[in-house]
Structure 1
């Protein structure tokens, strides 16, 4: 009683509490959802207009990744003739990718990296292609061969983001599909489908404007339907997290649950903005935990400049992606610098202080260059960057999916070095049935690539809760 009296007798505290109350009421009145799904719609992204009488072929074709020798010879020529910029003394990764270290990466790529060996590794899993809405969709589909078809396994789609690829999941796939061989006897086995987002890697790029995350969600729902799955789980980070969210909004009757390791809230409602200022001083009042405070307020107080330093790429790709794409598609050294700089800073922002960007602290150069090669041999860097313009070109907060909640069971894994920390209290404004929320002990943006064991364990915990009836 005395505590409440002291709060309300303090004008500043009273103002803070009053702001939260009014903000919550306004948010409820102005932004509450009326719909629980987003329209599925339809689309055609091929090079010509679809005829009304034309039936799209639904056959699924086996696919093997191959590259002509002429392409590799051309790559070697370009690597041999890379023009390096002079590096500033002691600049490390604070100006972007350090040119001195880029020399080492290019030298390794040219002289030691074995693409043929990596092709064998990539092709160890079954690859397929199928045509959906006029474009070819590539995906990896891995089953537990020890299980009878359709028994004992759960279908799971895993979706990558930018500048990643389906290759991000190569470490986690065996753990999910064959847990017994990885010391997880008795654990749930999955049938894993990893598609390439259209315009990324071996999925064909849309020929028409407007292919955003909602269109990708529809295409991937059609893919799962084509594979014969009436109900399935979806996991994703980066763009994959948004696409998984859209799939759940579009087809809640088919999506049993979504598991996300990147889940920024798209609408900064009236109940979120006040909590940002109050949470440091009265965390429990706005639903924050001590971990939320520890992860958020170094960022809020003194590291907002980090957002500016790390989001320049987003402005370029959200406005004029093709301009930068012209350069990156022509220079393998430039492409490696542009992509790998993200694998440095987005894994741990403190890696900017290291001369090598800390790249090999979490990954091998072979792993990193294989991801780069997927962009190079497919010439897909420009089309991959267009996803930013298609999603961010309009007012993102006014999109239909920003106004509709997610009502399927949701599991959220908050990794400590993620680009943005989202407290559970904020996540609940979007995701209405969060059944698991975990503060992960280590890891950054590329969770499946960096910490496959942690992600697999957390994913299994989430699915177990859902399968047991939440």
Structure 2
């Protein structure tokens, strides 16, 4: 026993040295260099151009579009919604087993009898912002573009901002936020005006998907950067959630010279070191946290929720074409699949409700606008493929999560989103995390659910970037 006590100090020193060595090894593994990516990779169906300079010059036209669907397409959808539905009654009166059948029938009735007779009005509503298309790297890219003319710029700080959506969302999620950003042009007390670009990311809505393998978030980040450069924006802000957050993060990492600041409502860092800290969070939730925010971060209940709510993610990451085949030309099935995510990812307690809480957080017209975009553009398969591409071996080998990002970063957490990361985890990657906020309400689709709150958070971030970067 005496001999063991004599060894305690040497053993302790050895353990400390070993821990330091292990931490440094993890740290060195974390400090991955920025990967080299191809800036002009071809994704089109046709042959790759031999002269890229000539191709870019000839394909650089930006066309204004009103994307109208013919009467035959709308009439076909009406007929499909008018068919008798033979649905199996739900086992429980809520959303615990998925979309409740009774609520689905109510939504289909509203869709058919109330929404569809007003479809041309809804089209006009979606035209309220300017729609454009252009060709980038062989793909037709669709985007909204709000510009401010010279006479409105006097005495204001003028910045471009790129808004990036995720799945199962679309440009429609950003309409309320776009209004808030646009109103700053006419508010004499507000020092900011923004040129706003909102693209449909490749494979979503009117933006063309590819028939070639390999179009993951890194490659989409290149396309988004090339789009902004084509529009004349060499420096700009980014705001995004879900896959928009992943793409925006990659843009900030790969092209720091172009990004003024990166703001996200779903900041995440999936590295070994971050996971270790996450485990510590679960074991002792107060280990890293500021008082009052402990409830925001991973407990074992949150891990349970991740297992319950991410089955769709695993399916789309492994068999996107199967689920695409199931949902294509199936409007009711598509609505149930998409809207169930808008329920479960907005608030975890909505599954206990008979209506999934959908109408509590959103207007049904807005939700159906989003479903219509997926259905009418037949983009459920191509949009689902981003999950598989994100987890491909080619994407993993780039180690993007392990590449430090020095672009000023802002992270807003909303209580009911699926997952949260603490500053101590995020700073492993985002070394200039200058803005970090927590809100005790709100969920995954915050741009549509609480646009005023997201707008205010983004403006605060812009102010901090100006001070940090001396803009």
How far did 1:308 drift?
Answer: 1.7
Q: CA deviation at 1:459?
A: 0.5
Deviation at 1:96, TM superposition (A): 0.8
Q: Secondary structure at the match of 1:370?
A: helix
Aligned twin of 2:37: 39
Contact 1:82 1:333 in 2 (8 A): no
Using a 3 Å threshold, how does the CA distance of structure 1 residues 449 and 268 change in structure 2: closer, same or farther?
A: farther
- Distance in 2, matches of 1:150 and 1:162, equals 38
1:329-364 per-residue CA deviation (whole Å, 9 max, x = no partner) reads: 121000000000011011001000001000000101
Q: Does 1:277 align with 2:275?
A: no
Give secondary structure in 2 for the equivalent of 1:379: coil
Unaligned runs of 5+ in 2: 1-7
Aligned counterparts, 1:225-236, within 5 A? 225-236=229-240
Give the equivalent residue in structure 1 for 2:23: 24
Report what 1:320 is aligned to. Answer: 319
Supply the distance in 1 between the matched residues of 2:363 and 2:30 (Cα, whole angstroms): 46
Q: Output the CA distance in 2 between the equivalents of 1:124 and 1:246.
A: 30
- Residue 359 of structure 2: aligned partner: 360
Deviation at 1:429, TM superposition (A): 1.1
CA distance in structure 2 between the partners assigned to 1:14 and 1:346 by the alignment: 47
* SS of corresponding position for 1:228: coil
Cα contact 2:409–2:433 (8 A) shared by 1: yes
Partner-residue secondary structure (3-state), 2:238: strand
For the structure 1 residues 375 and 150, does the alpha-carbon distance in structure 2 shift closer, same or farther, using more than 3 Å as the test? farther
The 5 A counterparts of 1:153-192 are 153-179=158-184, 185-192=189-196
Q: Which residue of 1 aligns with 2:108?
A: 106
How much does 1:178 deviate?
Answer: 1.9
Structure 1 position 148, deviation (Å): 4.4
The answer to whether the 8 Å contact 1:38/1:401 transfers is no
Provide the residue aligned with 1:460 in structure 2: 459
The residue number in structure 2 matching 1:50 is 48
1:19–1:274 CA contact under 8 A, matched in 2: no
**Equivalences for residues 120-269 of structure 1 within 5 A:** 120-144=124-148, 147-148=152-153, 152-179=157-184, 185-269=189-273
Secondary structure, in 3 states, of the residue corresponding to 2:63? strand
Q: Secondary structure at the match of 2:133?
A: strand
Paired residue for 1:3? Answer: none
| Cα-to-partner distance string for 1:53-87 (whole Å, 9 max, x where unaligned) | 35131010001120100001110111112534222
Which residue matches 1:380? 379
Q: Is the 8 A contact 2:145 2:197 kept in 1?
A: yes
Q: Check 1:150–1:70 CA distance in 2 against 1; reply closer, same or farther (3 A cut).
A: farther
State the Cα distance separating 1:264 from its structure 2 match.
Answer: 1.7
Stretches of structure 1 lacking an aligned partner (at least 5 in a row) = 1-7
1:247-277 Cα offsets, whole Å, 9 max, x none, are 11121111111101112212232x6415623
C-alpha distance in 2, partners of 1:364/1:16? 58
Give the aligned partner of residue 4 of structure 2: none
Secondary structure of the residue aligned to 2:48 is: coil
1:438 and 2:437 correspond: yes
Asked if the contact 1:258/1:410 (under 8 Å) is kept, the reply is yes
Are the structure 2 counterparts of residues 151 and 302 from structure 1 closer, same or farther at C-alpha, using a change threshold of 3 Å? closer
Aligned to 1:450: 449
| TM value normalised by structure 1 | 0.90
Rounded to whole Å, the distance in 1 between the matches of 2:292 and 2:279 is: 14
Whether the 8 Å CA contact 2:410–2:434 is kept in 1: the answer is yes
Return the offset for 1:23: 5.1
Distance 1:399 1:91, change over 3 A: farther
Question: For 1:83 and 1:98, how far apart are their aligned partners in 2?
Answer: 14
